[in-house]
Amino acid sequence: MEKTLVILKPSAIQRGLISEIIQRFERKGLQLVGIKMMQLSDEILNIHYGHLINKPFFKQTKDSMKRCPVIIQCWTGIDVISVVRSLTGSTDGKYASIGTIRGDFSISIQENIVHASDSPEAAEIEIKRFFDRNEIFNYSLNISSYLYADNEK
């Protein structure tokens, strides 16, 4: 089953949204398979946000991500990468749809609460970037037959 990487950014930690966001993923029926707190460094952020390196906001976005520890998570489920992106909402919190995490809790393009992998290729690379192999757990959810039909699993 697909896996995706989620980061609860300093804006989520400082605003007391950790449990709210985890609850949204759990209620959707996603399964948490890895979680840890990390203080991010320039070194890892230069790689993680490498696609933004030429943007004028690159340094301020990195500084924002370093202001306090973040919570890194790995979630699994059917089509979890696109499901989590739908739950997260579009990048700019001002315009993200109401009902999404960014739409409900952010009014900023930078302070937008969560990072979520945007493709299967990115998810694979990002999970390896932030987790050692033994930090991702493989276990079954006993309720899976209440989450999916047999032909969906």
Question: Among this protein's residues, is 48 annotated catalytic?
Answer: no
Contact status, residue 30 vs residue 84, Cβ threshold 8 Å: yes
* Interaction of residue 115 with ligand ADP, rule CB under 6 A: yes
* Interaction of residue 144 with ligand ADP, rule CB under 6 A: no
How far, in Å, CA of 153 to CA of 109, rounded? 36
108 or 145: whose CB is closer to ligand ADP?
Answer: 108
* Interaction of residue 41 with ligand ADP, rule CB under 6 A: no
Total residue length of the chain = 153
Contacts of residue 95, Cβ cutoff 8 Å, sequence gap at least 6: none
Q: Going residue by residue from 48 to 87, which x/- string records binding to ligand ADP, judged by CB under 6 A? A: ----x----x---x--------------------------
Q: Which residues are catalytic?
A: 115
